[in-house]
Amino acid sequence: MNDTIAAIATGPSTAGISIIRISGPKAIEIVNSFFSKDLLEKPSFTIHYGFLKDGDVLLDEVLVSVFRGPKSYTGEDVAEINCHGGILVTRRILESVLFHGARLSEPGEFTKRAFLNGRLDLAEAESVMDLISAKSEFARKSSLKQLTGALSERIRTLKDRLLEKNAYIEAALDDPEHFSLDGFSDELRTEVDKAIIETEKLLSTFDRSRLASEGIRTVLAGRPNVGKSSLLNLLLNKERAIVTEIPGTTRDTVEETVELDGLLLRLVDTAGIRSTSDPVEKIGVERAKKEWEEADLLLLVLDGSQPLTEEDRSLLSSSSDKKRVILLNKTDLPKEAELSEDYLSFSAKTGEGTDLLIQKIREMFYGGELSLNEELVLTNLRHKELLLQAKEALLKVIESMENGMPEDFYTIDLSRANACFGEILGEEVREDLVNEIFSKFCMGK
């Protein structure tokens, strides 16, 4: 924390502008040492135009932003150099910053310092990376809501209410003359029940939010030449998979992510399911079957221009326990297939049925409407695991109360629940876990 760190905060590509971020006790002094204007007395939240020079060599024409701690992103003095976005010029300026006394930051070290300096709690810090890596509008909005403290406030309120009850029990046990526990069990039971309900409400949003933020893993399945690859290309609006009239063209899985009218799908095209003696195709079929097991949704594609085959019927039977949509493809050709189960008529060639398919998936996973984060949702697996542990501890409190256990038993599990809530916020967390969390961040964040 005594070092001054620096990194390129923008993506490594040719662009109009690049930003080099410097944070630490000597951040402003380091930039000042090769900037054409004096920054040492400049106030916080100001931007200054000038030139950077390495001795007599002009590096670039830049804008330098000054942020003084503790009201900066990291809580320390911060300088940001806005230079031209060429890769070469950006690296050259970073080299000069390092030469004048900074060191290259570790991944996520800027946000880690913000956490350690109390500018963000751990849940808010994690949402920074979630926001950067958001792949859908839902993910962006939910991450932004958590960054502004919505989840932290909910968890902190739960923790504080339980902490108050726990403290009262401990005070009564230490000083029974001044603190009475008569009738306290009913009051505690009400508070614990409320905490369990709120914890369950948050937990109930996890699966839905995961699907909306990471995407519904959607596996395209069927026998060879029914139009799976054509369907993939249609949904992606590009020629991603090879399409031929030769059965067994697709030998391996092809994965792509696409957003359709706010619905994020992780599409997986698989090899056609059939008996084959080709060793390579056999591997593809086995991989296809494995993908079925991991799928959130199965799009079972049938060729509507041909009568159903035994392979089709076998696929319909073996996938009946999966969440699926049956697509009777090739509606642009005369219909020959007869099917008693619910299906969507579809044409991967013309796109007929695409809107109905999107609406069908939305109904299956979101009840017809995809809420763009009007409510607080749980998106982080670490948070989910800790909430499950907190719920388990709270249920133990109720069990102790119902079994007539002494009040000091309550404090054990109340403290365990509070520790779980505190770990979500980063109030009680191991150093190795903190390092692991921030190691997943990008270098300049």
The structure tokens 């017809």 sit at 368
Same domain, 278 and 383: no
User: Is residue 437 a part of any domain in this protein?
Assistant: no
User: Is residue 280 a part of any domain in this protein?
Assistant: yes
Q: What is the pLDDT of residue 272?
A: 64
| Contact by Cβ (8 Å): 221, 300 | yes
Same domain, 246 and 334: yes
Same domain, 134 and 80: no
- Residue that finishes a domain, picked among 119, 147, 162: 119
Is residue 47 exposed (0-12), middle (13-18) or buried (19+ Cβ within 10 Å)? Answer: exposed
User: Is residue 266 a part of any domain in this protein?
Assistant: yes
Decide if pLDDT at 80 tops 60. Answer: yes
Same domain, 153 and 196: yes
Which of 361, 108, 422 lies closest to 430, judged by CA?
A: 422
Decide if pLDDT at 251 tops 50. Answer: no
User: With bands split at pLDDT 50, 70 and 90, how would you rate the model's confidence at 278?
Assistant: low
User: Is residue 230 a part of any domain in this protein?
Assistant: yes
Cβ partners under 8 Å of residue 108, min gap 6: 129, 437, 438, 439, 440, 441, 442, 445
Task: Tell me which DSSP letter residue 419 carries.
Answer: H
Number of C-beta neighbours around residue 213 at 10 A: 23
Q: What is the pLDDT of residue 282?
A: 58
The CATH number of the domain holding residue 30 is 3.30.1360.120
| Residues 217-240 pLDDT 10s | 888 888 887 888 888 888 888 665
Same domain, 360 and 229: yes
Same domain, 95 and 49: yes
CA distances from 437 to 73, 131, 149, 430 (A): 18, 15, 18, 11
* One-letter amino acid of 250: T
Segment 138-157 mean pLDDT? 87
User: Is residue 440 a part of any domain in this protein?
Assistant: no
CA angle 320, 323, 325 (to 5 degrees): 85
Q: What is the pLDDT of residue 48?
A: 97
Structural domains of the chain, count: 3
User: With bands split at pLDDT 50, 70 and 90, how would you rate the model's confidence at 191?
Assistant: very high
Task: Tell me which DSSP letter residue 404 carries.
Answer: T
Same domain, 137 and 222: no
Decide if pLDDT at 252 tops 80. Answer: no
Same domain, 19 and 87: yes
Same domain, 150 and 195: yes
| Residues 341-391 pLDDT 10s | 888 888 888 888 889 998 888 888 876 555 544 568 888 889 999 999 999
| Residues 86-101 pLDDT 10s | 889 999 999 999 999 9
User: Is residue 45 a part of any domain in this protein?
Assistant: yes
Segment 193-199 mean pLDDT? 94
| Region label for 282, one of left (φ > 0), alpha (ψ between -120 and 50) or beta (otherwise) | alpha
* Structural domain boundaries enclosing 357: 214-366
User: With bands split at pLDDT 50, 70 and 90, how would you rate the model's confidence at 187?
Assistant: confident
pTM to 2 decimal places? 0.72
| Contact by Cβ (8 Å): 193, 241 | no
Least confident of 15-29, 249-263, 291-305: 249-263
Q: Give the CA dihedral 200, 134, 139, 131, nearest 10 degrees.
A: 70
The CATH number of the domain holding residue 291 is 3.40.50.300
Segment 112-130 mean pLDDT? 90
| Contact by Cβ (8 Å): 39, 28 | yes
Mean residue pLDDT of the chain comes to 85
Same domain, 196 and 331: no
Q: What is the pLDDT of residue 106?
A: 92
User: Is residue 433 a part of any domain in this protein?
Assistant: no
Same domain, 237 and 330: yes
Segment 175-180 mean pLDDT? 78
The CATH number of the domain holding residue 414 is 1.20.120.430
The structure tokens 């029974």 sit at 176
Same domain, 221 and 195: no
Q: What is the pLDDT of residue 280?
A: 54
- Residue that finishes a domain, picked among 93, 119, 145: 119
User: Is residue 435 a part of any domain in this protein?
Assistant: no
Which of 379, 391, 385 lies closest to 433, judged by CA?
A: 385
* One-letter amino acid of 332: D
Decide if pLDDT at 136 tops 60. Answer: yes
- Residue that finishes a domain, picked among 366, 392, 408: 366
